[in-house]
Structure 1
Amino acid sequence: MLIGTCSMKVIMYEVSSLKGKRQILKSLIERIKSRFNVSIAEVGEQDKWKIAEIGFCCVSNSSKHVDEMINNVIHFIEMDGRVDITECQVEIL
């Protein structure tokens, strides 16, 4: 069994409040949950309204599948347009 984890920090330039941040993150997280088979949540920077830390993971029996899943989610986030990734740390256990 292999576990792939990814922790990333994202920045949102167009938000002006925590409410706006939560709306964007909730929408993004729900879209990722419905499209990909991963567990995902906001895991840090919850008191700042321009920055968020998102963590997600997937489990598989193939390292190739884990790597593809993580890269697909990262690409999906990059293409969203509402957030920019500033840091990204991937680990396969």
Structure 2
Amino acid sequence: MIVGLMTIELHIGGATTLKEKRRVLKSIIDRVRSKYNASIAEVDYQDLWQRATLGVAVVSNETSHVSQMLDTIIRSIEANGGADLVHYNIEIL
């Protein structure tokens, strides 16, 4: 069993309230869950309006599949337009 973990730091420039931030994050989280069947959640900066950290986990039996899934997810989040990608880190166990 291969587990891929990724943390993603986002900047949500258009958010002026936590409600706006959560609306953008909910859209990203729902899309990743339904399209890629990955576990994803907000894991840090819950009280900041324009900053968020998401944690993503993917499980497979092949390292290449895990790596491909995480790369696809990060490209999807970048293309979303609701948030700017600041930094991401991938760890494969």
Return the alpha-carbon distance in structure 2 between the equivalents of residues 37 and 75 of structure 1: 16
Return the alpha-carbon distance in structure 2 between the equivalents of residues 14 and 26 of structure 1: 15
- Size of the aligned set, in residue pairs, is 93
Return the alpha-carbon distance in structure 2 between the equivalents of residues 24 and 37 of structure 1: 19
Structure 1 unaligned spans of 5+: none
Matched, 1:81 2:81: yes
Q: 1:44 Cα shift? A: 0.4
Q: 1:61 Cα shift? A: 0.6
Matched, 1:8 2:3: no
Question: Cα deviations across residues 3-56 of structure 1 (Å, max 9, x unaligned)?
Answer: 000001100111110000011101110011110010000000001000000000
State how 1:39-50 maps to structure 2 within 5 Å.
39-50=39-50
Question: Which SS does the other structure have where 2:4 is aligned?
Answer: strand
Return the alpha-carbon distance in structure 2 between the equivalents of residues 47 and 14 of structure 1: 16
Q: Percent identity?
A: 40
Moved over 4 A (4+): none
Structure 2 unaligned spans of 5+: none
State how 1:1-93 maps to structure 2 within 5 Å.
1-93=1-93
Q: 1:76 Cα shift? A: 0.2
Question: Cα deviations across residues 38-81 of structure 1 (Å, max 9, x unaligned)?
Answer: 00000000010000000001000100000000000000000001
Alignment TM-score, normalising by the size of structure 1: 0.98
- Over the aligned positions, Cα root-mean-square deviation in angstroms equals 0.5
Return the alpha-carbon distance in structure 1 between the equivalents of residues 24 and 82 of structure 2: 7
Return the alpha-carbon distance in structure 2 between the equivalents of residues 2 and 72 of structure 1: 17
Alignment TM-score, normalising by the size of structure 2: 0.98
